[in-house]
Amino acid sequence: MSRLGLLVHVFGAALVVALLAIPLHARQQRAARAVLDAPVSATVARLPSGDFALSGSGRHLRHISLAEPGAAFADVVAGPDGDPAGGALAPPRDTFPEATP
């Protein structure tokens, strides 16, 4: 077998092993996270909602599930904006109103 052929065989075997390892690694990660489920849930129970600390473009505010029903693009409860690019691009922070000191 040529060197290239050997390399391809090794690469192919490594690929198959990596593919098989993915679900096993994912399961191990989930098991490790499950240990933290109770304290995480207890912490979230003291917050206004279980929404992520992230915003959509339409409203620029957190707790999207409790946001104003009349806000632009909030066409569904807990719905972030329909335009995923709005999630990727934050509004220009220079335009944020400055609080009165």
Partner 1 sequence: MKSPHLALVGFAATSLLRRKARTLTLVVGLAASVALLASVFFVTGALRDEARRVRGAAPDLVVQKLVGGRPSVLDPSLAPTIARIPGVKQVVPRVWGYLFLASIQSNVAVVGSSSRGPLALSAGRDLQVGERGTCVLGKELADTLGLRLGDHLIFPLPGHRAADSVVVGLFSSDVSLYTSDVALVADEDARLILGVPRESAVDLAVELTNPDESQVAARKLGELFPGARVVEKRVLDRTLALVYGRRAGFVLGASLPALLALFVLAWDRAAGLAPSERREIAILKACGWSTSDVLRVKLYEAFVVAFAGGALGIVLAYLWSFPFGAPGLREVLSGWAVLYPRTHLVPSVDGAQVLSVLALVTAPFLALSVGPAWRAAGVDPLEALREG
Other CB atoms within a 10 A radius of the CB of residue 94 amount to 5
Contact (CB, 8 A) for 72 and 60: no
Please report, as a single letter, which amino acid is at residue 29: Q
CA distance 51 to 36: 18
CA distance 55 to 65: 11
Q: Which of 13, 48, 72, 74 binds partner 1 (CB under 8 A)?
A: 48
Q: Which of 6, 10, 72, 90 binds partner 1 (CB under 8 A)?
A: 90
* Residue 3 found at the interface with partner 1 (CB under 8 A): no
Q: Which of 6, 10, 13, 25 binds partner 1 (CB under 8 A)?
A: 25
Nearest residue (CB) to partner 1, 10 versus 83: 83
CA distance 80 to 44: 20
Number of residues near partner 1 (by CB under 8 A): 66
CA distance 92 to 38: 38
* Residue 97 found at the interface with partner 1 (CB under 8 A): yes
Chain residues in the site for partner 1 (CB under 8 A): 4-5, 8, 12, 15-16, 18-19, 22-23, 25-27, 29-30, 33, 36-57, 61-63, 65-66, 68-70, 76-80, 82-85, 87-90, 93, 96-101
